[in-house]
């Protein structure tokens, strides 16, 4: 195995020459790096690698009018483990806190363990003799309570906590926010936390992480990170990307994960700017030997495209194998499900169930344009005994009072019902106890659908937030199947579907 020479010297290579993606605002007129960070580094006795300094110069870049160039999308860093992204950001934050009295930084991680580890690392920086004298005299580092973090004599502070524990909400006038483990950052959590920076004079946000795992993608917990990468690397230049995006990653094609293969280390050098400078082979070997191959590709080599495609909750092959003609025409359904698309267009599905299996189909789509007429149409087919299930949070919930006025048996579903419905449809499909009509709108919805978590016990529902994917046909079918599982099958009434 080739041995890389390792020293403690900094990597002198510029960011733009070694990063796979380096998206920089084109309206940077000047930078505050030489005001807020550069003067403090000699006194801190710390030297940044050139690529780390470049990130800070760009992050603090201002337009000619003095506004922050990355004020909309912030600074997104997709960089592998053991590369020095966390340390480089920490050093810059400490320098800013020293240079600018009263600065408040909020650093959130997904897990509490990561938050504690990160605090321990930054505590090691501020305890250096060159910095310690400028920290708060009493308890400069706090490892417990709401003030967990490092505190400076000039009133600046860097606070740490876990988003999974609710940390990050309720702050006001935050100057800089750091979202670590961004592969576990949902848009909803981000919205709650970003509001704290609206009145800040700096208003800088960092989003840092490694490429998400497939399960994180399926659950949608990587949405904030993925959206930033997709926007930054998109070929559509009609909208300027008002932010910074930096990615270090190895080549995808022909990569070897054999530590004895010299090409492994060649790929690693492209993914990790610290390798051969501050990081040696033993640190990488430790990661590789204790990770699965897929984790190595993501977290050591920084490769995204292994997880870029959202895996279908039910594969196309599995779903296609369940296609069936269904019951004879005129057979009354066991239950009906109703949903609506983002623009309010109604979709109605029906499910027929016996003791062994169920069959579900969409029976109306893009034809019920008037709510009163739609309620009449559904009531005529459901009567007073066939269950109609509608999610209370759906745009279709507007039909609930109309159907109740027609004496229909309406079930207004809750979030818990949706979790049961989705889990039930998935179980029925994977256990081959469900058939369907092979309808294209349902197939398209399933291909683009992904999960959103419901509750804390592993429940999930179909994520309807993507306006480009109409999952209403799938949701209507899911609700119809759920209603059928709650209802004893009835076969004594013939209706026209």
Compute CA distances 71 → 33, 75, 310, 320, 467, whole Å: 16, 9, 29, 46, 25
Residue 271 pLDDT: 95
What is the tens place of the pLDDT at every residue in 232-248?
988 777 778 889 999 99
Q: Please enumerate in sequence order all residues whose Cβ is within 8 A of that of 85, keeping only pairs 6 or more positions apart, or say none.
A: 77, 79, 208
Residue 493 pLDDT: 43
- The stretch 88-110 carries a mean pLDDT of 95
1 pLDDT tier (thresholds 50, 70, 90): very low
Enumerate the H helices of 63-111 as residue ranges: 85-99
Comparing 323-332, 406-415, 433-442, 449-458, the range with the smallest average pLDDT is: 449-458
pLDDT at residue 153 tops 90? yes
Cβ-contact 336, 495 below 8 angstroms? no
C-alpha 497/C-alpha 243 separation (Å) is 53
Pairing state of beta strands 387-391 and 335-340? parallel
Residue 149 pLDDT: 95
What is the tens place of the pLDDT at every residue in 309-345?
445 788 878 899 999 988 988 899 999 999 998 888 8
pLDDT at residue 281 tops 60? yes
- The stretch 394-412 carries a mean pLDDT of 95
Beta bridge partners of 157: 104, 151
What is the tens place of the pLDDT at every residue in 348-391?
999 999 888 899 999 999 888 899 999 999 999 999 999 999 99
Cβ neighbours of 365 (radius 10 Å)? 19
Q: Please enumerate in sequence order all residues whose Cβ is within 8 A of that of 307, keeping only pairs 6 or more positions apart, or say none.
A: 211, 212, 213, 214, 217, 298
Average pLDDT, the chain: 88
Pairing state of beta strands 61-62 and 30-31? antiparallel
Residue 4 pLDDT: 45
Domains of the chain: 15-300 (3.40.50.300), 316-485 (3.30.420.240)
More confident position, 308 or 132: 132
Q: What is the CA radius of gyration of the chain?
A: 27
Residue 489 pLDDT: 57
- The stretch 99-109 carries a mean pLDDT of 94
- Report for 58-62, 158-162, 228-232, 468-472: range of highest mean pLDDT: 58-62
Among the listed residues 175, 229, 170, 181, the one whose alpha carbon sits nearest the alpha carbon of residue 208:
181
pLDDT at residue 194 tops 60? yes
């Amino acid at each position: 195995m080739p041995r890389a020479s390792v020293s403690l010297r900094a990597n002198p290579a510029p960011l733009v020459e070694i990063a796979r993606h380096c998206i920089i605002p084109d309206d940077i007129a000047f930078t505050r790096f030489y005001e807020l960070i550069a003067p403090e580094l000699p006194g801190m006795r710390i030297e940044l690698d050139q690529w780390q300094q470049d990130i800070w110069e760009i992050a603090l870049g201002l337009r000619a009018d003095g506004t922050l160039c990355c004020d909309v999308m912030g600074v997104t860093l997709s960089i592998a483990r053991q590369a020095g992204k966390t340390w480089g950001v920490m050093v810059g934050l400490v320098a800013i806190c020293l240079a600018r009295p009263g600065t408040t930084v909020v650093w959130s991680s997904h897990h509490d363990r990561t938050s504690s580890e990160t605090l321990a690392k930054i505590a090691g920086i501020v305890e250096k003799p060159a910095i310690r004298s400028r920290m708060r005299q009493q308890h400069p580092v706090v490892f417990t309570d709401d003030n967990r973090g490092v505190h400076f004599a000039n009133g600046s502070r860097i606070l740490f906590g876990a988003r999974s524990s609710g940390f990050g909400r309720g702050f006001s006038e935050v100057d800089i926010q750091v979202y670590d483990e961004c592969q576990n950052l949902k848009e909803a959590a981000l919205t709650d936390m970003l509001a704290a920076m609206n009145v800040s004079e700096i208003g800088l946000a960092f989003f840092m992480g490694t490429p998400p795992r497939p399960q994180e993608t399926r659950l949608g917990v990587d949405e904030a990170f993925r959206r930033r990468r997709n926007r930054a690397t998109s070929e559509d230049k009609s909208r300027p990307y008002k932010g910074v995006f930096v990615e270090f990653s190895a080549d995808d094609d022909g990569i070897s994960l054999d530590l004895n293969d010299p090409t492994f280390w060649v790929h690693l050098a492209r993914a990790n700017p610290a390798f051969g400078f501050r990081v040696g082979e033993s640190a990488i070997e430790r990661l590789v030997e204790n990770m699965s191959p897929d984790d190595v590709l993501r977290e050591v080599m920084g490769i995204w495209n292994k997880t870029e495609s959202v895996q279908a909750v039910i594969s196309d092959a599995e779903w296609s194998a369940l296609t069936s003609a269904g019951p004879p025409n005129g057979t009354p359904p066991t239950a009906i499900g109703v949903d609506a698309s983002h623009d309010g267009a109604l979709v109605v599905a029906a499910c027929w169930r016996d003791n062994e299996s169920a069959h579900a189909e969409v029976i109306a789509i893009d034809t019920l344009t008037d709510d009163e007429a739609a309620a009449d149409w559904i009531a005529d087919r459901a009567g007073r005994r066939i269950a109609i299930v509608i999610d209370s949070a759906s745009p279709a919930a507007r039909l609930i009072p109309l159907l109740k006025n027609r004496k229909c048996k309406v079930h207004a579903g809750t979030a818990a019902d949706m979790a049961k419905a989705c889990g039930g449809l998935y179980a029925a499909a994977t256990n081959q106890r469900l058939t369907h009509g092979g309808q294209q709108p349902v197939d398209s919805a399933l291909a683009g659908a992904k999960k959103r978590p419901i509750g804390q016990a592993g429940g999930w529902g179909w994520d309807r937030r993507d306006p480009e994917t109409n999952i209403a046909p799938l949701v209507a079918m899911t609700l119809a199947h759920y209603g059928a599982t709650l209802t004893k099958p009835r076969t004594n009434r013939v209706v026209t579907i």
